[in-house]
Amino acid sequence: MNNKLWKLMIVLVVIIALVGCGGSSKTETESAAEVDNSTLNVFEWSGYELPEFWSQFAEQHPDTNVDFSFFGEDAEAFAKLQTGFQTDVFHPCSSWWELYVDNGLVQPLDLSRLENFENMPESLTKYGEFNGQQYFIPWEWGYESILVRTDKVDEMPTSWADLWNPAYAGHVAVYDSGETQHVVGAMVLGLDPYATTEADNEAIVQKLIELKPNLLTYWTDYTEIVQLVAAGDVWIAGNAWPDTLLLLRDEGVPVEYITPKEGRMGYICGFGIAANAQHVDLAYDYLNAVSSVEAMTFLIDEYGYGVSNSLALPEADQETVELLQIADPAILNSTIFYESVTPEQREAFVSNWDRVKAAP
């Protein structure tokens, strides 16, 4: 009898324990769901956190906080994700995209969940496709070209090779970037910038050294090049960005942004969903919000950049669209966009550029 009672007590204890565990599990699930809906983590460049870019998301999820973390350059963003930094959405530029894919830091996108993908030109989306899958969607893009102080020169440049024109001696400034100047040197020599041999790279180094007598300085920040051009010290600004043109025109400085015969250079940045994202459903809603016509129109009007959603072009300020020629398919299709590079290529760009700057 005592033995039966003891067994019954054990059964009751087990039942109570299971019920207790079940109640605890339910509470944890409910807590997890509450956390999932409360925050979306976005790793971003400073300036793109403006609520106008994601107002559609805010309307869809009024109780969700968008928590922004910021990075200052692509190398920093890549390094942080490599160390396990937790985010849902992040915004790198195209020359780094393949590294994220190769290192398993980004997940392939379900295109059926992207409302605006069909309005993005293939000339941009192709940069985010790897191994037959789309990992990134383009968002903003911009030109790098030659900005000319028109009242200071007798003849306008028509080619990247004109940076070497002795008539501009002491009044040229180019962007302080090994990759950028590798591309410029390769174009001038008629080479594919992303398929160069060691001999090609050496020729590019020598060509860039030959440019030094024409250089006033290397510029590193767009505010710096704006000041130098406005003061009349720089007549020819290589690798200038569109916002430089807008700022100088607003100041009444006579400048022109040309299309070199080799084509303008260009950059593309865009969004991916991190491989360790905890809020994937929210991430897709955020991507749909930032690529909406309203958000893309604001990007053109506010920053003067090109956008990935072609439906935004007629909605934006047409003076800006026409001035920057961001709706001209002929210019877009002839633009040399930065491409993904290997760590070895990136290291070569840096070391070769150091050699150029150190040369007398």
Give the integer Cα–Cα distance in Å for 32 and 133. Answer: 30
Give the integer Cα–Cα distance in Å for 250 and 254. Answer: 10
Q: How much is the pLDDT for 174?
A: 97
61 and 134 both lie in a single domain: yes
153 and 198 both lie in a single domain: yes
pLDDT tens digits, the chain, 360 residues: what are they? 444 444 444 444 433 343 344 433 333 333 444 546 799 999 999 889 999 999 999 999 999 999 999 998 888 999 999 999 999 999 999 999 999 999 999 999 999 999 999 999 998 999 999 999 999 999 999 899 999 999 999 999 999 999 999 999 999 999 999 999 999 999 999 999 999 999 999 999 999 999 999 999 999 887 899 999 999 999 999 999 888 898 899 999 999 999 999 999 999 999 999 999 999 999 999 999 999 999 999 999 988 889 999 999 999 999 989 988 888 888 888 889 998 888 899 899 999 999 999 999
Backbone angles phi, psi at 289, to 5 degrees: -70, -50
118 and 193 both lie in a single domain: no
60 and 187 both lie in a single domain: no
- Domain tally, the chain: 2
Asked if residue 26 is part of any domain, the answer here is no
- Tell which phi-psi region holds residue 202, choosing left (phi > 0), alpha (psi between -120 and 50) or beta: alpha
Asked if residue 279 is part of any domain, the answer here is yes
Asked if residue 5 is part of any domain, the answer here is no
Strand, helix or coil for residue 320: helix
**Quick check: 153 and 235 in contact, CB under 8 A?**
yes
Asked if residue 6 is part of any domain, the answer here is no
Residues paired with residue 306 on neighbouring β-strands, in sequence order: 141
Nearest to 305 by CA among 33, 24, 45: 45
Structural domain that includes position 131:
38-139+267-327
Q: How much is the pLDDT for 36?
A: 61
283 and 252 both lie in a single domain: no
217 and 72 both lie in a single domain: no
Q: How much is the pLDDT for 5?
A: 43
Cα distances (Å, whole numbers) of residue 321 to 4, 143, 147, 277: 87, 13, 17, 36
